[in-house]
A and B are shown apart, each in its own frame.
Chain A
Amino acid sequence: MLTLAEVERHAKVAIVAVDGERGFRRRLLELGLCPGTAVAITNIAPLGDPLEIEVRGGRLSIRKDEAAQIRVRR
């Protein structure tokens, strides 16, 4: 299964599900990363981590291992 951490920059994907412990995933869902939402990686920090993502017209930064908990489809 594809995760957000494996997606190349600027590719538009849709969120399928957010995995992980309950408090962790609830935080991401509440920021609007719910299933069906379009998301794209727009940038990678100069030191390789974290990632800058575009979701619902805003920019958030999340760490790679967090992005690996977000399952996506093309």
Chain B
Amino acid sequence: MADVAFQQNRIARATSTRRGSSLRYALKRKSTAAFLMTLPLILLIAILVVYPAFYSLHLATLNKSMQKFVGLGNFQFLFRRETFWLVVKQSCIFAITAVIFKALIGFIVAHFVHNIPAKGQRKWRGMLLVPWVIPPAMSTLAWLWLFDPSYSAFNYTLSLFGIGPIPWLGEAGWARFSVILVNIWYGAPFFMIMYLAALKSVPDQLYEAAAIDGANWWQRIWYVTLPMMRNIIAITTLFSLIVTFANFDIVRILTNGGPLDRTHLFATWAFRVGIEGSDIPLGASVSLFMFPILAIAAIFILRDISKRGNEA
């Protein structure tokens, strides 16, 4: 009994002093700790991504020696240059054509891989992803060699059928074709692997139900597969659009913009003007034109992500 009384006394005492709230203090500390843990990330993004992005806006308003503010002068200059409009046109053709073909080929190949017995899939998937794994700078060198004006292995093969020789990189039309071809070769496996992952996530019962409802192969793709994969297709396509639009390696190594600037993209031309031509403000102005397409794609991707977040 005395024990109980003592305890109640202690309880009372504890009650009066308890709102020291060390737990709440700890919580506060927890959010401080969380902030500290993310601080390196925040600094990295702020200093090396966000700041340069705005800095390039500033750069674009300076003259070549970077001592005078010229406002929109660089842009006015660009708009008057034929090469600039050539680059705009080529970037759009390059990105759109390449993405469409990457998406189509990726989708088709993913289907074929999905079609074959499961135990062989790994092997095929492994082979088909190789182009994505090789650093593009290295594999583009191989393509450059395959396209070589005098020793092209393609032209050798075609000559056996009496065709050619084709000026793969020597003539504007063919050069554009080659650059797009290499980009498709490099990027299609990425689509393939994304689609394959999405295909695997479609429950088999849906196909079985569709088959019982009398849907044929094509109807199953149209009414079951595509709707189920819409999200992944959209996000992969947008993502690839950004990357393809900003592509540098392939054109730089394959044609370096030639012949006669007919394959330049924003990135390669910005490099040519900014680094090789030492006109950094003008180069920055050129690369800024990648921004709108990037922003639009990013908005769509974000919308998709937040939509999925709400569903979860």
**A joins B in a complex:** no
Binding site for A on B (CB under 8 A): none
Which chain A residues have a beta carbon within 8 Å of chain B's beta carbons? none
